[in-house]
Structure 1
Amino acid sequence: MAFPEDDDHLFFAKDTDGKRSHHLHVFGATSLVPEANRVFRAYVAANPDAARRYEAAKRRAAELHSHSRAQYGAAKEEMMTQLSAEARLWSLSAGHQSAQG
């Protein structure tokens, strides 16, 4: 399935025994998303407060919307946007690779 906002982003999921067992994102070779994802992951790993906020947002979203991936994603979108912005600034100030995207 393609994401409506990004034709270069494909998503595949597989359920086993009624539960999600595989979750795969595929991006075009020129997409900036994978780099932005790496910067986000590095930021959360380096910043315990960011990790706690990310965890809390994900847990809250999962509790409220355990049967809807779309609603789960929407519920954590505000925190993801905030943390992504923090990660870009952190990356640029720390001299990490480009965090465009």
Structure 2
Amino acid sequence: MRQVQVHPPNPQWIRDFDAEAAQIVLALGNNVVHIHHIGSTSIPNIYAKPVIDLLVEVNDIGQVDGCDRAMAALGYTAMGEYGIPKRRYFRKDNAEGIRTHHVHVFGVGSPEVVRHLAFRDFMIAHPDCARQYSELKRALAAQHPNDIEGYMDGKDEFVKTMEQRALHWRGLI
């Protein structure tokens, strides 16, 4: 059972993203087109679980399967598609077993890339929505301190609503 804790905004999250992205480029090689910082740690001024989410766009998703050993050398566990078709998902825990990073790999042009980036950019451009999200996350973490599923379920409707607003804002729907 994973404990749910959200932390105040931390400028170190950006530096952590930059350092990890540099290592992932080495592990995945010239297949990488771009690495994006996504998730709550990428949105300024909001509370977040201190887990860095990296979204990697690659030319050939199939080639990523041959990089599991290189990712394992960085401390990642390969999880395959993990519920999202055409994704390769990796997760990393620290020495204490606390989750520190998620890596989501998709082919260039994937609708999942568009969705994640639209949500992130919308939240950055709309601080009032980001503030609502931050407050929701804090309330849910207090309500579900030992129930990650309850925490995630509690965010689901808000996230889906904001994703739709983000896609409309981007002119994609």
TM-score, with structure 2 as normaliser:
0.46
Within a 5 Å distance, the mapping from 1:1-101 to structure 2 comes to 1=79, 2-4=81-83, 6-16=84-94, 17-92=96-171, 99=172
Q: Structure 1: which amino acid aligns with 2:87?
A: H
SS of residue paired to 2:161: helix
What 5-or-longer segments of structure 2 have no aligned partner? Answer: 1-78
Query: Which contiguous aligned blocks of 4+ residues in structure 1 show a shift greater than 6 angstroms?
Result: none
Q: Structure 2: which amino acid aligns with 1:70?
A: E
Q: Structure 2: which amino acid aligns with 1:8?
A: K
SS of residue paired to 1:22: strand
- Whose radius of gyration is greater, 1 or 2? 2
| 1:81 shift after superposition | 0.7
Q: Deviations over 1:30-62 (max 9, x none)?
A: 521111111111111111111111212222333
The structure whose residues are more often helix, as a share, is: 1
What 5-or-longer segments of structure 1 have no aligned partner? Answer: 93-98
Distance 1:24 1:66 in 2: 24
Distance 2:106 2:115 in 1: 12
Distance 1:8 1:48 in 2: 32
CA RMSD of aligned residues (A): 2.1
Q: Structure 2: which amino acid aligns with 1:63?
A: A
Structure 1 pair 74–10 and aligned structure 2 pair: CA distance change class (3 A): farther
| 1:83 shift after superposition | 0.6
How many residues align? The count is 93
Q: Structure 1: which amino acid aligns with 2:111?
A: L
TM-score, with structure 1 as normaliser:
0.73
